[in-house]
Structure formats: structure tokens, C-alpha cells
Amino acid sequence: MVFYLIGPVIWQLITSLKPNAILTSLPPVLPEKVVFTHYVSVFTERPFARIILNSFIVATSTTVYCLAIGVLSAFAISIFDIKGKALFLGLVLSISMFPPIATVSPLYLLIRALGIRDTYLALIFPYATFALPLSIWVLSSFISEIPKELYKAARVDGCTPLQALWKVLFPLAAPGVFTCAILVFIFAWNEFLYALTFTTTVQSRTIPVAIALFPGLHEVPWGEMAAASIIVTAPLVILVFVFQKRIISGLTAGSVKG
Amino acid sequence: MAGIQLKGLSKRFGKNVAIHPLDLKIDDGSFMAIVGPSGCGKSTLLNLIAGLETPSGGDIIFDGQSVLNLNPRKRDVAFVFQTYALYPHKTVYENIGFPLSIARVEKNEIDKRILEVAELLGLQNLLSRMPRELSGGQRQRVALGRAIIRQPKVFLLDEPLSNLDAKLRVQTRAELKKLHERLKTTFVYVTHDQTEAMSLADKIAILKDGKLHQSAPPREIYNNPADTFVGGFIGSPGMNFIKAAIDAEGREVAIENMLYPLSQPLEKSGDIIVGLRPEHFSIGEHANEKALAKEAVVVEPLGSETLIQTEISGAQVVIRAPADYNCEAGDPIQVTPLIENANFFHPETGVNIELMD
Ligand SMILES: Nc1ncnc2c1ncn2[C@@H]1O[C@H](COP(=O)(O)OP(=O)(O)O)[C@@H](O)[C@H]1O
Ligand SMILES: [Mg+2]
């Protein structure tokens, strides 16, 4: 099982460290002489730094935007007695069930009409639209698990509803917020279809598209592609590990009810 | 400090009526207990007073001023929740100081007041702990501390002792009473435990299914319950209810085949329910002309007293006998109802029929 999950990653790691000559030789074992040329050439021969920056900006903005709206909506849904709450949540979820491919052409027209093609906004808006429903679901399930008395206590202790959210509910929902942030970030970081359609230049091109466009007319630069993949996966892995600690510590703090 | 007046206050959740329109007056500085079985609307009533729920009708008045349009932070009330609702991510110190830091009180002043409150409640050594590191009784005191520090107009306490074990409950009950005497602030105290209400309150309001049955000082409630529900609910064990009949003039009551004259005539004749507290019987082995010959069904020697269960006109009756009363289940007993202590209730509505003057 572990091998099944990790195997391709290791293969890729090995490929990225091989010199071109023996690139496709099987079995994929580490060569005697490890080379880092692919890692260097990704940055020197291609605008990869810019592309990483693009991806980072798009994914971060999407995440922040989704969390801000998501936390507020989830708060409203779980604290106030709103009629048709279940219907609303169902509707929200059904939006995220739309196959992205079905929405590409109308979105394309919309984006062209707004004149935001090949900008970050062209990606952030569609991403947020798809990630928001899931965020609202995850966040509202976390917030509604917090005992309602804590919100009431904060209110009698003098908080406005937003203060109660920020000072009491938000810290307690931190594990949910981190979980949600990671999910949204990974989604935006890896998304391919919209990124391919709505970007045209290195101005706003994101990593998955860039890597897919590596192959030239005559050759497929496997080594560079492998190196690029490793470079962009690393931050995700680090992100998850860093936040995992916070998630666990958050969980133990939140699990103690008054 | 504030006196509270509820006028025709009601609350519905959808079609479900949690509080029927009720009027209640809570005097400034008094200790009011609201008692009733679980689900009768006590917490809802407290939430309405605090402004955490919006009433469906009626008015809430603090010191002559309607507070309906004030949100909880403006009403200046403190709330102690059954679950304590301490902020799990804050230390004891931060929990107690929270209401002041929200109100932007100066840091030095907050420090000073936290220390005062901690000393009053014996929390000095726990200030840096997290709520999860505290025992139930300690959490309870932190919740009280967070309420006291504000010096609010009104304290609202929702079953604050029900999560404590029996011994700690009695001890904390006494501390609460002392606290009230010291602060002299209005307390509204919700509980399902009538003993707590009797021992703490100046005045008790009894609620059932969202309806207010009676609101009076403990002694009056005990001696003159407004209806059979109140009589049975208050007292441990509760009042006994015996089916009986009154003669046409309302001067004599017949229990089984024995006649008992009334000192004052009753406004009613025919069927009636006689309510007698367990201590309102005399019990012995020897017959007298007013005694009913019975058999002890269950005998419970409780140390300070002995409870004897028997049956009168088809109803189960519990009688309080002295601790040294010697008797076993199955023994014959002679039971005399002390009719001068009785309350009389309407057989259908269960409402107390006031003795006529
Ligand atoms: N937020 C709510 N939504 C719907 N019904 C509620 C709500 N809060 C309380 N109720 C109902 O109101 C009634 C009284 O509840 P509550 O005040 O909690 O009773 P108590 O505190 O006396 O046990 C119950 O029938 C309960 O189901
Ligand atoms: Mg309750």
C-alpha cells in the first residue's frame, strides 16, 4: 500500500536526478552519478520561477477569499436559526457537483467579456466558485460542533456577533479552518482545465499547465518535467506536515468542552 | 442592580410553544428560583431575559425600562451556564477577565479585579490553568468568577449545580447563598431540583409545560400550593392527594368512611381532592375515633425520620413518622389525617380551592 502510493513519487525523484543519457533506462534505480542539471535548467532555460509565483498567488488568494466568505457563511448557518438551512446547504453542495468541463465555455465567454483573460482574477474567481461550497460544508460542520453556549456566553460577556466569531468560535474552529485551507490550496495549486483555458502566457500561467507545455516539437524533456514536479510537490507536502501539527494541537484544545 | 418585570412574555419555536404568556415580578436584589421539570421552558425564559432569544410576545422590563430593544451586551446581565461554557482556549485568568477586556477596561484595573474575584472564590492558584485541567467544581467557580467580575445588574444562573456530585452541590449551594448575601444583586436561578430552590430562594416560580403555576415565597408554596402539580412537585416526598367528598354545606369531609369536620366551611361540595403533606398524619398502633386502620406497605428508615407508605382511598400515601417509630412492612397501623393542615383541590382542574372565610 505504501509502495503503491509512494512508488511513482520515488520514480519521479530518481528520474529527475538522472543524466539525460540514461533517462529512460529500466529498472528505475538511482544512477552512480546523481546530477542536478534538470533542477537548474528548469529555472535557467524556462520562466519557471515566474510560474511558481503565479501559482502561489492564485492559490493563496483563492484560499484567503474562500476562507473569509466561507467562515462568515458557515457562522451564519450554524449560529442563527435560518429557515431552509438544510435546503441551502444542499443547494450549495450541488453547485460543486457540476462537472467543470461543462462550465468551461460559458465561463470563457464571461471572462473574455470582462476582459480579465490571462490575469490572476480569471483563475481566482472560478476556483473560488468551485471551492466555496466545499469550504462552507467543512467549516459549518466544524463550527456547529462548538457548543452553542460558548457563543451565548461570549454574547452576554459583551461581544458583538462578529467579536464572538473572531474571539471565541474562530480559534475553536481552527482545525476546520486549516483543513479547509489545505484542501482549497491544493485544489487551486493543481487545477488544470481552467488554467489551460483561461491563461495564454507566462503572465498568469500556472504550474500544471506549464509542465504540460514543456514537451517541445522533437523531444519530451522527461528529466526537467520530473524535476519541476518534485519542486512543486515539495511545498504541498511541507504545507501539510506543518499544518498537521497545528491541526492536531487544535483538535485537542477544541475537544474540551466547557 | 435591577428589578425585573415580565409582562405577558411568551416564546414559540415554530409551532411549538415553549413559554405561554406569563407575568412575573422579580424584586431588586432578590433571589428568585425558577423551578420545573426538564423541558418546561426554564432555559428559554432565562435566555429571553438575557436577550439571547427574541420573545414572540410581551415585554421585559428592567427597573421600569423595557429592554426588548437592547442586545445582550447592553442588558448588563451575567449568565452562568449549566455546562459552564468556559472558553476552552483561554486560561482561567483570561476566562475571568474576558468580559472586562471586551469592555476595554484598563489592563491594571482588569488585573486588580481578577485577583479580587479569584480570592473571593479561592481560585488564586489556578489562574494559569486551562479549563480542561480543572475539576467540575473548579470550573463551576471559574464560571461564577466570570459572572461576578462584571458587577452586572442581574445574575442569571441556569442549573449551575447540576453537573456537580451530591456533596459538592450542597456545599456550593451554601456558598452561592453567601455570595448573594454579599453582592445583594438580583439572582434569577433556574433549577429542576426543588430542594435547591427551597433552600436558596426568597421567591420561587414554578413552571410546567411553559406555564407559570405559582410564584411565591418558599414557605407559602409549601403550605399553600396553587394546584396539585405544585403540591406534588415541591417537597420531598411531595404532597399526598386523597380522593374525598364534601357534604352539601361544605363543613365536613369524608375520607373513606370516616368524617372529618372542617374548621371553616368550603365553597364546594361533592368530589374533592384532599392534599396532605407526609408530616400531616398522626400514626400509631392504637385506634382512635378518627383513625383509619391501614397496613404499612413499604417502610423506609432514613435515619432522621421514617417514611411509611400505605394506601388511602385507592391512592398511595407516604407518611412521615419519627425516626424511632418501630414498624415493618405488613404491620397494621392507625393513620389519622390532620385535616386542619389540609389543602383542598378541585377534582378535575386540580386547582386549590381557597378556604372560605
Ligand atoms: N432553539 C430551539 N428550537 C426549538 N425548540 C426549542 C429551542 N430551545 C428550546 N426549545 C423547546 O422549548 C421547550 C423548553 O426548552 P428549555 O427551555 O430548554 O427547557 P428546560 O430548560 O426547562 O429544560 C422544549 O420543548 C424544547 O424542545
Ligand atoms: Mg434547561
Average pLDDT, chain B: 92
B293 touches chain A (CB under 8 A): no
Residues 6+ apart with CB under 8 A from A35: A17, A18, A19
In 3D, which of B52, B100, B42 has the Cα closest to residue B72? B52
Does residue A80 lie in a domain region?
Answer: yes
How many domains is chain A partitioned into structurally? 1
Per-residue model confidence as pLDDT tens digits over B77-92: 999 999 999 999 999 9
Give chain B's count of helices (H) and strands (E): 9, 21
Does residue A257 lie in a domain region?
Answer: no
Q: Which residues pair with B65 in a beta bridge?
A: B62
Tell me, what's the pLDDT at A29? 65
Integer angstrom CA distances of residue A55 from A106, A120, A126: 23, 9, 14
Instruction: Name the 3-class secondary structure at B208.
Output: strand
- Say how many Å lie between the first and final Cα of chain A, rounded: 41
Residues 6+ apart with CB under 8 A from B306: B299, B300, B320, B321, B322, B323, B325, B327
Per-residue model confidence as pLDDT tens digits over B121-164: 999 999 999 999 999 999 999 999 999 998 999 999 999 998 88
Q: Would you call A258 and B139 a contact, using CB atoms and an 8 Å cutoff?
A: yes
Please tell me the distance from the alpha carbon of residue A121 to that of residue A59, in angstroms, as a whole number: 11
Does residue A176 lie in a domain region?
Answer: yes
Please tell me the distance from the alpha carbon of residue A211 to that of residue A191, in angstroms, as a whole number: 12
Per-residue model confidence as pLDDT tens digits over A97-130: 777 777 777 787 887 878 777 778 878 888 888 8
Please tell me the distance from the alpha carbon of residue A246 to that of residue A176, in angstroms, as a whole number: 11
Does residue A126 lie in a domain region?
Answer: yes
Q: In the predicted model, is pLDDT for residue A255 greater than 50?
A: no
Report the residue of B16, B48, B70, B83 to disrupt the A interface, i.e. the one with the largest count of A CBs within 10 Å: B83
Tell me, what's the pLDDT at A256? 43
Dig out the grid coordinates for B109 from the structure: 484595573
A29 touches chain B (CB under 8 A): no
DSSP string, B265-309: --S--EEEEEEE-TTSEEEESS--TTPEEEE-SEEEE-SSEEEEE
pLDDT band at A258 (very low <50, low <70, confident <90, very high): very low
B290 or B65, which is more confident? B65
Per-residue model confidence as pLDDT tens digits over B188-232: 999 999 999 999 999 999 999 999 999 999 999 999 999 999 999
Beta carbons within 10 angstroms of residue B37's beta carbon? 14
Which ligand 1 atom is at minimum distance from the Cα of B207? 22
Helix A100-114 to helix A120-143 angle (10° resolution) is 130
In 3D, which of B56, B71, B50 has the Cα closest to residue B19? B56
Please tell me the distance from the alpha carbon of residue A244 to that of residue B331, in angstroms, as a whole number: 72
Domain span holding position A204: 2-251
Tell me, what's the pLDDT at B81? 94
Per-residue model confidence as pLDDT tens digits over B306-353: 999 999 998 999 999 999 898 889 999 999 999 999 999 999 999 998
Q: Would you call A155 and B72 a contact, using CB atoms and an 8 Å cutoff?
A: yes
Q: In the predicted model, is pLDDT for residue A20 greater than 90?
A: no
CATH number of the domain enclosing A95 = 1.10.3720.10
- Say how many Å lie between the first and final Cα of chain B, rounded: 40
Dig out the grid coordinates for B6 from the structure: 415580565
User: Does an H or E element contain B188, and which?
Assistant: strand B186-191
Tell me, what's the pLDDT at B301? 92
User: Does an H or E element contain A171, and which?
Assistant: helix A170-172
Please tell me the distance from the alpha carbon of residue B156 to that of residue B59, in angstroms, as a whole number: 18
Please tell me the distance from the alpha carbon of residue A219 to that of residue B249, in angstroms, as a whole number: 117
A254 touches chain B (CB under 8 A): yes
Does residue A166 lie in a domain region?
Answer: yes
Dig out the grid coordinates for B124 from the structure: 488564586
Tell me, what's the pLDDT at A22? 66
Please tell me the distance from the alpha carbon of residue B229 to that of residue B40, in angstroms, as a whole number: 13
Protein residue closest via CA to atom 17 of ligand 1: B41
Among chain B residues, the shortest Cα distance to A163 is held by B102
Does residue A157 lie in a domain region?
Answer: yes
Please tell me the distance from the alpha carbon of residue B78 to that of residue B91, in angstroms, as a whole number: 19
pTM of the model: 0.84
Instruction: Name the 3-class secondary structure at B191.
Output: strand
**Ion ligand 2 residues within 5 Å by Cβ:** B 43
Does residue A258 lie in a domain region?
Answer: no
Tell me, what's the pLDDT at B354? 75
In 3D, which of A206, A158, A168, A234 has the Cα closest to residue A58? A206
Decide if A51 contacts A205 (C-beta within 8 A): yes
Per-residue model confidence as pLDDT tens digits over A154-164: 999 999 999 99
User: What is the pairing mode between strands B31-35 and B57-62?
Assistant: unpaired
Tell me, what's the pLDDT at B357? 45
B81 or B257, which is more confident? B81
Does residue A143 lie in a domain region?
Answer: yes
Decide if B190 contacts B43 (C-beta within 8 A): yes
